[in-house]
């Protein structure tokens, strides 16, 4: 007998189906892990659902060979449960994903293709709200083009397009109803989850789909995605905010110091409540500034002993996680280190790589520079190190 709690209608889960190999994309990485506008396809999909206030949990179903790529795509995003492995067919993957979600007792679930990165927040909301009065709902667009049957490469008879629709995801369901339907129909073959629901007698409501909510399948679809992203940027559909951070730490006893996430052997250490990494502290404050969410001290008070000596990468990852929760994409991080010593140049690339890793962004979005004050001031007297940082975040349109 199961000890799981009864399902709560207030818990809404998203099941992101990402278990295929994407062989129709051709050579190279699978389609879900290819970049589109600076982010992989799957990260865009996950970020959209993670930023939606109506989604409580996200369960991804992936191919076991893609675990490293998935971890990179999912890094820093909230609400994500550990991924589960998919099956031989999409239908099998969804069933396995639903089983993984069952222990969390959601009342509702949205099943979405990981290769559809442009579902809007409004569409997600509409899918959730459709379950107020239905057990199942799917987004669809009416067919407007003329339909013809083909015969050996020649045009055949015209088909009526009346009452025909192009079906999309996310498809929304009462969780227990679709779990039972998938278990009942295991071993059969159906085109989508709505077809499985209908085969078990569940009525499926239609909601209005979106033209931009297309599925990336082939290489030209990546090009279409790039064009869509560029067009949205040109129309100003997102909001760009810039935050600035500044931090100072003085030298003290020690044989090494942390700077931009990299340990550097030096004649002195830096004094601070945490590891005193001025570069990461400044960048953390820059991100928090762009979010309008206080400063590093308000999130990690120096008076709290639990932060004593901890790595500053935790602070930066926290700020990145807050940005992801608001749907923000970190476009660029620029850090300037101000000191006479140690020399930053030999460590610059390691610093950039470490920051990119913490923030889960491409390396070319991170800049680390260094300067001196020509012997002036406390940095000129080699009494400590200062750092300035600027972070540029793009937010989805409200």
Task: Kindly report, residue by residue over 52-103, the tens digit of the pLDDT.
Answer: 999 999 999 999 999 999 999 998 899 999 999 999 999 999 999 999 999 9
Average pLDDT, the chain: 91
Q: Which two tokens stand for residue 218?
A: 């082939």
Q: What is the pLDDT of residue 362?
A: 87
Quote the Cα angle for 261-267-269, to 5°: 45
CB-based contacts of 85, cutoff 8 Å, min separation 6: 19, 61, 62, 63, 64, 96
- For residue 42, give the nearest of 3, 85, 75, 6 by alpha carbon: 75
The predicted-structure confidence for 161-172, as pLDDT tens digits, reads as follows 788 999 999 999
Q: What is the mean pLDDT of residues 152-158?
A: 84
**Residue range 8-234, CATH number:** 3.90.550.10
SS3 annotation, the chain: CCCCCCCEEEEEEEEEEECCCCHHHCCCCCHHHCEECCEEHHHHHHHHHHCCCCCCEEEEEECHHHHHHHHHHHCCCCCECCCEECCCCHHHHHHHHHHHHHCCCEEEEEEEECCCCCCCHHHHHHHHHHCCCCCEEEEEEECCCCEEEEECCEEEEEECCCCCEEECCCEEEEHHHHHHHHHHCCCCCCCCHHHHHHHCCCCCEEEECCCCCCCCCCHHHHHHHHHHHHHHHHCCCCEEEEEEEEEEEEEECCCEEEECCEEEECCCEECCCCCCCHHHHHHHHHHHHHHCCCCHHHHCCCCCHHHCCCCCHHHHHHHHHHHHHCCCEEEEEEEEEECCCCCCHHHHHHHHHHHHHHHCCCHHHEEEEEECCCCCHHHHCCCEEEEEEEEEEEECCC
Residue intervals of the chain classified under CATH 3.90.550.10 are 8-234
The predicted-structure confidence for 223-280, as pLDDT tens digits, reads as follows 999 998 888 776 655 678 999 999 999 999 999 999 999 999 999 999 998 999 999 9
- Low-confidence winner among 15-19, 33-37, 161-165, 198-202 (lowest mean pLDDT): 161-165
Q: Give the CATH fold of the 239-395 domain.
A: 60s Ribosomal Protein L30; Chain: A; (3.30.1330)
Q: Which two tokens stand for residue 348?
A: 């610059």
Whether residue 374 contacts residue 364, with contact meaning beta carbons closer than 8 Å, is answered with: no
Spatial separation of the C-alpha atoms in residues 287 and 244, rounded to whole Å: 8
Cβ burial of 375 (10 Å; 0-12, 13-18, 19+) is: exposed
- 2: pLDDT strictly greater than 50: no
- 114: pLDDT strictly greater than 50: yes
Against a cut of 0.85, is the pTM above it? no
CA-based radius of gyration for the chain: 25
Residue intervals of the chain classified under CATH 3.30.1330.50 are 239-395
The predicted-structure confidence for 336-381, as pLDDT tens digits, reads as follows 999 999 999 999 999 999 999 999 888 989 999 999 999 999 999 9
The predicted-structure confidence for 269-312, as pLDDT tens digits, reads as follows 999 989 999 999 999 999 999 999 999 999 999 888 889 889 99
How far is CA 184 from its chain centroid?
A: 33
CB-based contacts of 109, cutoff 8 Å, min separation 6: 12, 13, 14, 15, 98, 101, 172, 173, 175, 178
Spatial separation of the C-alpha atoms in residues 141 and 318, rounded to whole Å: 40
Residue 141 main-chain phi, psi, to 5 deg: -120, 135
Q: What is the pLDDT of residue 235?
A: 67
């Amino acid at each position: 007998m199961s000890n799981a709690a009864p399902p709560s209608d207030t818990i809404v889960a998203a099941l992101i189906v990402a278990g295929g190999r994407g062989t129709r994309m051709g050579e190279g990485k699978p389609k879900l892990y290819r970049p589109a506008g600076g982010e992989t396809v799957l990260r865009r999909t996950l970020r959209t659902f993670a930023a939606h206030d109506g989604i409580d949990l996200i369960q991804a179903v992936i191919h076991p060979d893609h675990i490293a790529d998935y971890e990179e795509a999912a890094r820093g995003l909230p609400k994500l449960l550990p991924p589960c492995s998919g099956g031989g067919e999409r239908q099998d993957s969804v069933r396995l994903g639903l089983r993984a979600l069952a222990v969390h007792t959601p009342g509702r679930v949205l099943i979405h293709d990981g290769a559809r990165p442009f579902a809007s927040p409004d569409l997600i909301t509409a899918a959730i709200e459709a379950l107020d009065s239905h057990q199942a709902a799917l987004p669809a667009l009416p067919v407007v083009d003329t339909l013809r049957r083909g015969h050996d490469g020649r045009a055949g008879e015209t088909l009526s397009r009346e009452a025909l629709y192009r079906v999309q995801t996310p498809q929304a369901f009462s969780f227990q109803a679709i779990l039972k339907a998938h278990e009942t129909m295991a071993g059969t073959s159906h085109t989508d989850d709505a077809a499985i629901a209908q085969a078990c007698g569940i009525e499926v409501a239609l909601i209005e789909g979106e033209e931009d909510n297309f599925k990336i399948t082939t290489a030209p679809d990546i090009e279409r995605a790039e064009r869509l992203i560029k067009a949205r940027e040109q129309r100003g559909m997102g909001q760009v905010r810039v935050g600035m951070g500044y931090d100072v730490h003085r030298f003290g006893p020690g044989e090494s110091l942390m700077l931009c996430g990299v340990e550097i052997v030096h004649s002195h250490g830096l004094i601070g409540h945490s590891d005193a990494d001025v570069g990461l502290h400044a960048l953390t404050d820059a991100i928090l500034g762009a979010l309008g969410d206080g400063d590093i001290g308000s999130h990690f008070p120096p008076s709290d002993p639990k932060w004593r000596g901890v790595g500053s990468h935790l602070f930066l990852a926290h700020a990145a996680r807050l940005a992801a929760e608001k749907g923000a994409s970190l476009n660029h991080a620029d850090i300037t280190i101000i000191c006479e010593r140690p020399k930053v140049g030999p460590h610059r690339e390691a610093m950039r790589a470490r920051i990119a890793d913490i923030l889960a962004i491409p390396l070319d979005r991170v800049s680390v520079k260094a300067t001196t004050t020509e012997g002036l001031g406390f940095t000129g007297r080699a009494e400590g190190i200062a750092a300035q940082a600027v972070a540029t975040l793009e937010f989805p349109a409200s």
